[in-house]
Amino acid sequence: MPDQSSMPSVLETFRVAGYSCLRCGKCCTRAAGDNSVYLMPDEIESIRSFLIQKNIQIDGQDISSSFTVPLFPDIYSENGDDSVFDLKKISDNLRLLQNQISEDGAVYTFGEMLKRTQNGTCVFLDTETNTCKIYDVRPLLCQTYPFFIDFYNVDLEHRSNVDVIECECDGVASVSETDNSICNELAGLLMTRARREKEDYEKMKKHIRADYFLTSGAGLSQAEDDLKNGFLRFFVCDCRGVFEIKIRVNDFFLNTVKTDGTDEKGI
Ligand code: SF4
Ligand code: SF4
């Protein structure tokens, strides 16, 4: 349990938020917009082991080696009440990121995120029951939703400068006061998350150079050509180092296959 005396404002923030999870599953979909879930490398390994150990398949597919994609800005567009994977968003984002593209067309990025389906729902959401298929090993980002703290500015030793940011969630203001045990649990999880993100960040800094993210932009046209040919290349930077990933555009999302053999579009 966290030291309550050192974090009175944090606990108070949780208390007055009146938060209780309604199990609506909206945070695992695009109901509130971009729902990308950043993963720390050790979380990726935990999820992979869990999928293998429990023999968990998603729509009949073994995705234990393909449930992540490089961190990239939003790749979905809204279509009425639905969201849809949008190739043009990738193209637009390449232009936005042109100063973090190497001369030979690879995009430098920080880490990986969870893969989603064509409509932006997390691949691990059971849409019939609104439950998480990897609940025991779900990422800290999911465990602490709808709250997060800016770990750059937190003094972890003294647990000060902790600014809690609240995301959109139907569970906020659903009760008059957040239960004490939930406040304490959230405070502990958020501090754990901040400490681990900060540790990973310090390790990652040893592997990256500032010019990865201040390139001339000359690689943009190569990246756009790659995209036309159906793939993109990334240099993924995280606490383990910098490694290259080449990904087919169609692998940015999971093409869910229904039991009758059709996919989400009924094809
Ligand atoms: S955290 Fe919020 S959005 Fe997510 S399932 Fe609970 S109530 Fe719904
Ligand atoms: S990992 Fe689980 S909790 Fe997190 S977004 Fe996916 S389904 Fe939701």
What is the rounded average pLDDT for all residues in the chain? 90
Looking at ligand 2, which residue's alpha carbon is closest to its atom 2? 132
Assess if residue 17 is contained within a domain: yes
DSSP readout, 119-183? TS-BTTEETTTTEETTGGG--HHHHHTTEEE-GGG-BTTTTBS--EEE---TTTTSSSS--HHHH
pLDDT at 204: 94
What is d(CA 34, CA 20) in angstroms, rounded to the nearest whole number? 22
Assess if residue 253 is contained within a domain: no
pLDDT at 96: 97
Summarised one tens digit per residue, pLDDT across range 24-56 is 999 999 998 899 999 999 999 999 999 999 999
Looking at ligand 2, which residue's alpha carbon is closest to its atom 5? 28
Assess if residue 43 is contained within a domain: yes
Assess if residue 45 is contained within a domain: yes
**With 0-12 CB in 10 A as exposed, 13-18 as middle and 19+ as buried, what is 128?**
exposed
CB of 122 shorter than 6 A to ligand 1: no
Assess if residue 66 is contained within a domain: yes
pLDDT at 129: 94
Domain extent for 129: 4-96+111-206
CB of 35 shorter than 6 A to ligand 1: no
How many angstroms does the Cα of residue 122 sit away from the middle of ligand 2? Answer: 6
What is d(CA 163, CA 150) in angstroms, rounded to the nearest whole number? 7
pTM exceeds 0.85 for this model: yes
List the one residue out of 221, 230, 249 whose CA is nearest residue 94. 221
Q: Which atom of ligand 2 sits closest to the CA of residue 123?
A: 6
Q: How confident is the model at residue 157 (pLDDT cuts 50, 70, 90)?
A: low
Q: How confident is the model at residue 149 (pLDDT cuts 50, 70, 90)?
A: confident
pLDDT at 5: 46
Assess if residue 13 is contained within a domain: yes
pLDDT at 22: 96
Assess if residue 229 is contained within a domain: no
Q: What's 60's DSSP letter?
A: T
pLDDT at 164: 85
Pocket probe mutation, ligand 1, options 21, 28, 140, 142, max atoms within 8 Å of Cβ: 21
How many angstroms does the Cα of residue 180 sit away from the middle of ligand 1? Answer: 18
What is d(CA 40, CA 176) in angstroms, rounded to the nearest whole number? 34
Residue 122 or residue 148, greater confidence: 122
Cβ neighbours of residue 256 under 8 Å, at least 6 residues apart?
A: 58, 59, 117, 118, 263, 264
Residue 154 or residue 258, greater confidence: 154
CB of 146 shorter than 6 A to ligand 1: yes
Assess if residue 266 is contained within a domain: no
Query: How many domains in the chain?
Result: 1
Torsional sign, CA 28, 32, 33, 35: negative
